[in-house]
Structure 1
Amino acid sequence: MLKTVIGRLRWIGNVEGVSYLVLLLIAMPLKYWANLPSAVTIVGAVHGLLFTLFLLALLHAWIVKKWSFIFVVIAFLSAFIPFGTFFLDAKLRKES
């Protein structure tokens, strides 16, 4: 899976999507309901790193695959929507 540009994008997209869900569904409630702000600090930092790697993988795929600007914008925006990267993965699975 990690041998192709699409495979790398799919992998990091899934990992980034999971980290986003952990941030929203576990770390944020721990911060506000259990008074554990360190959960957001730690998970947020990991998620930020994974988001940056996702953007780099998306940029690499854009250059190699010569995708349209609109597709890349939609792929970028999918990272801001919960479960969005999983829908992107389904689309990319058909392409690879």
Structure 2
Amino acid sequence: MLKTFRIVAFLEGVSYLLLMVAAIYKRLPDGSDEYVKLLGMPHGLLFVAYIALAIFLRTTYKWNSKTFILILLGSLIPFGTFYVDKKYLKPLA
């Protein structure tokens, strides 16, 4: 299950960055919101999967409250999931 969480964390981080780029592109004079619409749903599903897996794995790996909150916050901060993977998930693998 940890391997799945690491994959979801990576994909969620990439989708978040792509969505940010799409949001910037949308604001440009020639920009369009097509990419935001295209990337929004997959990112949302990956976000929900990330949170659900984190909740599920909390008891398995006995994460304390501070660690668990940092792992959850990683999904809200750009590049956060990559940091979470390196700092908290990779050592468990």
- For normalisation by structure 1, the TM-score amounts to 0.86
Q: How does 1:62-73 map to 2 (within 5 A)?
A: 62-73=58-69
- Greater than 4 Å deviation, 4+ residue runs: none
Structure 2 counterpart of 1:86, from 82, 87, 90: 82
Tell me how far 1:14 sits from its aligned partner: 0.4
Q: Which residue of 2 aligns with 1:12?
A: 8
Gaps of 5+ in 1: none
Q: Which residue of 1 aligns with 2:25?
A: 30
Count of residue pairs the alignment pairs up? 91
Tell me how far 1:66 sits from its aligned partner: 1.8
RMSD: 1.2
Tell me how far 1:60 sits from its aligned partner: 1.3
Tell me how far 1:41 sits from its aligned partner: 1.7
Question: Per-residue displacement from partner, 1:54-82 (whole Å, max 9, x unpaired)?
Answer: 01111111122121111110000011111
Letter in 1 for 2:31: N
Distance across 2 between alignment mates of 1:46 and 1:38: 14
